[in-house]
Amino acid sequence: MRARYALVELDTLRPHEHTQPALLGKTIDAIRTDGFVRRPILVESRHLVILDGHHRYEALRRLGCKRTPAYLVDYEDEAIVLTTWPGATVDRVTKAEVVDRALRGDLFPPKTTRHIISIEFEDVRVALDELR
């Protein structure tokens, strides 16, 4: 599987899940306190759908940032496996549904989808000032 690292404009990204308020607050506080983003979000490269990192995306947006570090991937790659989290409102979801929901703005509840990827992505250290 190939992934391309880039700084991506936040307004071009499409979430497919809502965020949890408590977790979002903790994420905002952690990024603000640290002054850096260390973990890029995972983005489907064709439609710019956020696959992983909804809370980081929303935290950066609320912190006044314009960009985010991201790994762009081919969602059709078989190395990306889609499941659901325990307690999700649905038992099964397809990649096509994820993209469709994101394009229509009909977001899943928080922590519905879980993407499992067989490679590890490197963390980065991008200062908030570089993202504004």
Question: How does DSSP assign 44-75, residue by residue?
Answer: ETTTTEEEE-HHHHHHHHHTT-SEEEEEEE-T
Task: Dump pLDDT digits (tens) for 23-78.
Answer: 999 999 999 999 999 999 999 999 999 999 999 999 999 999 999 999 999 999 99
Give the pair of three-digit tokens for residue 63: 């912190």
Given 9, 17, 97, 122, which residue is catalytic? 17
97 is catalytic: no
The predicted pLDDT at position 119 comes to 85
pLDDT of 83 over the 90 cut: yes
| CA–CA distance, 41 with 125 (Å, rounded to integer) | 13
All structural domains of the chain:
3-131 (3.90.1530.10)
* 98-122 mean pLDDT: 95
The predicted pLDDT at position 12 comes to 98
Q: Is the distance from CB of 79 to CB of 1 less than 8 angstroms?
A: yes
Give the predicted TM-score (pTM) of the model.
Answer: 0.96
Name 76's Cβ contacts closer than 8 Å, sequence gap at least 6: 95
Phi, psi of 131 (to 5 degrees): -100, -5
